[in-house]
């Protein structure tokens, strides 16, 4: 195992740094490497929505409360905004900015934001000789059978395709620039502090937690005991990002626990932890072609990144619960 990187004195760019995972990275560096220069670049939320009603971007200033690094409001889709990043010389770039909502079907905006803008981020990395860690996704696999394995992708929506195209772009870039490190992380279903402002696209851990706290039975699709996902706690996501910064980690890696759990498990664990017995309110699943089972094959991530998931679903929910409760009382359960 290589010795940990000292990020103090490094200049770190976090795109999408006002979002869920990006903001946790920003806080992580501030807490552990106070001498690092951390720059958050995010377009934040404007109130603009897509036709299905969800916000175009979820970045929220409250995710950055307590963060004292630099914050730049800008879009990765606008060259004049990206030009502001040329004033720096980055050592590390964590590229989280994206349309993260898997139900956006406007292909033009998804491919522009997730793929074309990534090419510009890679050009920036090339100029600065920066190490890049970027967010890919389990959505690249579509409904491929579990365990989902690198090399067996079949995306089934524009979002999943965009992440797959990012991986291919990164792969070509790495071939042309073998001395630079570009690592893609295929997050499975991440949950934890910082996701509240994603509203309806936040994890079911948070949504069910708030339903239970409001005294109503958790609402789940029928047969939710058989709908399985690989739920990964934010601290393990951060662990993967940090380990991906080690030299020569170029490639794409799954980031999950390697274990599939059901949505019913989440509701049951929450009720156990909260001491409630509200039962479950089942309703028919309105989606056709709904993914029934994900489970990350993390063998390559373990082997090459030395990644070891530390949070079972039970442990992650327990660690997250104080924040779920705080949001419920302080934010009045309204992510505006
Ligand atoms: N959370 C998960 O479970 C999960 C799973 C797989 C992949 N991912 C990927 O991880 C990354 C982070 O996801 P997240 O859950 O933190 O989502 P998020 O929506 O909270 O974060 C994305 C951030 O990017 C910003 N952004 C969007 N468009 C932008 C633009 N044009 N210019 C600048 N900033 C822009 C948003 O304002 C937001 O703050 C995304 O790339 C997402 O696709 C997340």
pLDDT in tens, 193-222: 999 999 999 999 999 999 999 999 999 999
Q: Do 3 and 29 meet the contact criterion of CB atoms below 8 Å apart?
A: no
Segments in the chain below pLDDT 70: 1-2, 332-336
Number of domains in the chain: 1
Q: Is the CB of 169 under 6 A from ligand 1?
A: no
Residue 163 within a domain: yes
Structure tokens at 103: 């139900």
As a whole number of angstroms, the distance between CA 60 and CA 224 comes to: 31
What CATH number does residue 80 fall under? 3.40.50.720
Q: Do 212 and 242 meet the contact criterion of CB atoms below 8 Å apart?
A: no
CA of 16 to the centre of ligand 1 (A): 6
| Residue among 93, 98, 124, 129 at smallest CA distance from 111 | 98
Residue 2 within a domain: no
Rg (C-alpha) for the chain, rounded Å, is 19
Residue 63 within a domain: yes
Q: What is the pLDDT of residue 61?
A: 97
Residue 1 within a domain: no
Tokens 């995972």 sit on residue: 21
Q: Is the CB of 59 under 6 A from ligand 1?
A: yes
Domain span including residue 46: 11-330
Residue 26 within a domain: yes
Residue 5 within a domain: no
Model pTM score = 0.98
Q: Is the CB of 115 under 6 A from ligand 1?
A: no
Q: What is the pLDDT of residue 288?
A: 82
| Residue among 62, 3, 146 at smallest CA distance from 334 | 62
Of ligand 1's atoms, which has the minimum distance to the CA of residue 197? 20
Close Cβ partners of 230 (under 8 Å, ≥ 6 residues apart): 138, 188, 189, 256, 257, 258, 259, 260, 261, 294, 295, 296
Looking at residue 144, what DSSP letter applies?
Answer: P
As a whole number of angstroms, the distance between CA 51 and CA 58 comes to: 15
Q: Which among 13, 100, 230 is the best mutation to test ligand 1's pocket, defined by most ligand atoms within 8 Å of the CB?
A: 100
Residue 130 within a domain: yes
Q: What is the pLDDT of residue 335?
A: 61
CA of 1 to the centre of ligand 1 (A): 30
Residue 150 within a domain: yes
Helix (H) / strand (E) containing 247: none
Q: Which among 96, 116, 159, 189 is the best mutation to test ligand 1's pocket, defined by most ligand atoms within 8 Å of the CB?
A: 96
Q: Is the CB of 230 under 6 A from ligand 1?
A: no
Which residue's CA is the closest to the ligand 1 atom numbered 20?
19
Tokens 């307590």 sit on residue: 66
CA of 27 to the centre of ligand 1 (A): 16
Structure tokens at 235: 């601290």
Close Cβ partners of 146 (under 8 Å, ≥ 6 residues apart): 228, 260, 293, 294, 295
């Amino acid at each position: 195992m290589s010795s940990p990187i000292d990020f103090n004195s490094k200049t770190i760019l976090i795109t999408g740094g006002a979002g869920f995972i990006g903001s946790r990275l920003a806080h992580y560096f501030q807490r552990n490497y106070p001498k690092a220069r951390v720059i958050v670049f995010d377009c934040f939320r404007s109130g603009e929505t897509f036709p299905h009603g969800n916000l175009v971007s979820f970045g929220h200033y409250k995710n950055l409360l307590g963060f004292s690094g630099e914050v730049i409001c800008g879009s990765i889709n606008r060259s004049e905004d990206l030009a502001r990043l040329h004033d720096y010389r980055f050592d590390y770039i964590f590229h989280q900015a994206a349309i993260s909502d898997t139900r956006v079907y406007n292909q033009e905006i998804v491919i522009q934001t997730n793929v074309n803008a990534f090419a510009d981020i890679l050009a920036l990395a090339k100029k600065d000789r920066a190490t890049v860690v970027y967010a890919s996704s389990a959505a690249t696999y579509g409904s491929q059978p579990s365990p989902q394995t690198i090399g067996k992708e079949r995306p089934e929506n524009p979002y999943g395709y965009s992440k797959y195209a990012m991986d291919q772009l990164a792969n070509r870039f790495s071939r042309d620039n073998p001395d630079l490190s570009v690592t893609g992380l295929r997050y499975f279903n991440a949950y934890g502090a910082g996701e509240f402002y994603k509203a309806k696209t936040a994890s079911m851990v948070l949504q069910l937690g708030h339903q239970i706290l409001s005294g109503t039975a958790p609402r789940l699709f029928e047969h939710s005991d058989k709908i399985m996902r690989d739920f990964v706690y934010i601290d393990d996501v951060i662990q993967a990002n940090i380990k991906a910064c080690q030299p020569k980690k170029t490639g794409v890696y799954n980031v999950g626990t390697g274990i599939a759990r059901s949505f019913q498990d989440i509701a049951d664990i929450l009720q156990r932890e909260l001491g409630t017995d509200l039962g479950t309110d089942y309703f028919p699943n309105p989606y056709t072609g709904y993914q029934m089972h994900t489970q990350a094959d993390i063998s390559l991530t373990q082997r090459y990144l030395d990644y070891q998931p530390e949070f079972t679903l039970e442990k992650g929910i327990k660690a997250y619960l104080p924040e779920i409760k705080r949001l419920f009382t302080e934010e009045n359960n309204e992510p505006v």
